[in-house]
Structure 1
């Protein structure tokens, strides 16, 4: 978020808005998109993800889960059993993965917009 803000702050005042070329305008739009997605992720999605994660861990701890050695389990999956038994856990897990998916989408959007911005800096307009 800080890098996107700094880049946008450096690039925006370089020229008057009416004098911007297509490439400069696209860079500004990409940086603005990156800043917007990073802000949404940091200010809105992350608190929801963290809250859901702590609630999931507390419920799993109540059921005695969370101390298993990965790969050593045989038989039915206790997390799946908990999901089938406790509808609150199932809804909370669904909420966690919903917000986590949105966060991933924001991160990928930032990566792509910054990559395209860098690409346009490297090549500039085709003449």
Structure 2
């Protein structure tokens, strides 16, 4: 039997977050905008990472740089209660480059799609067990 795939990647999530902050620190606004334009908060599985991405988007939309300090000002705490500044700082420190952000983003998005497929399959599974006419269940599942 094959090994089960995880439907998220902490490394890819951190790679994207780190890349956008590193691009901002290099004052590469074009790359910041490109990353923010191709990635969505819904692509993140880990709630703190999605919240950090939203804080990065908010900072950018306000014309602020998206380094750990300004992102920490935009959003003081993450859903877990951890300091945004500390979390973003750790990610920025551990991601060496923004060069491979497209690979990270593609992986991140692919896993998000798989999670959507699993959620849809779960919904269809639940519908199949309801005591309703089959055509109605099939129509709703589509």
Normalising by structure 2, report the TM-score.
0.38
Q: Which has the higher contact order (CA 8 A, sep 6+)?
A: 1
Q: Which has the larger radius of gyration?
A: 1
